[in-house]
Amino acid sequence: MNLFKKLKKRSNELNLHSVSTGLFVPISEVKDDVFSQKMLGDGFAIRSNIKEVYSPISGVVTSVFPTKHAIGLKSETGVEVLVHMGIDTVELQGRPFEVFVKEGDMVIPSTKIADIDLAMLDVSNKQSDILVIITSGEAIDFQMTSSINVSANDLVGNIIFN
């Protein structure tokens, strides 16, 4: 028996935290068929009433879209998550977003990853839902534990690996 050999045991569960303060919305109720029909994966949305956006997981930033509307993350357990800010916001060319992370940065649920100009989204007639989508395609069971009104960093659900 080798006492010095460290084995990294993969957890069978990953906690998901609220990315902002506002109304928790099940993914099936988002007003965009690509998201509500889970074409990209399961998840949830927050209808934010503050500008700050935080990481939903502990992990690493894998991508920041050039239009700043989406940020890819990978958890310590290997699960890939997409934080998508607003609906149909790609055409705004990044104007309503200020991103504070870059590829390779380590994040935890209290890490502020972006700010959103909610007034600009409103004037542009864009939904301000911040979506958290599990995109890694693994066999998972997503369980929501959230109430309707949430604060940034609240535990809102978890992923159980099948």
Q: Which residues contact 108 (CB under 8 A, 6 or more apart)?
A: 55, 58
| Cα–Cα nearest to 42, from 129, 110, 142 | 142
The catalytic residue positions are: 84
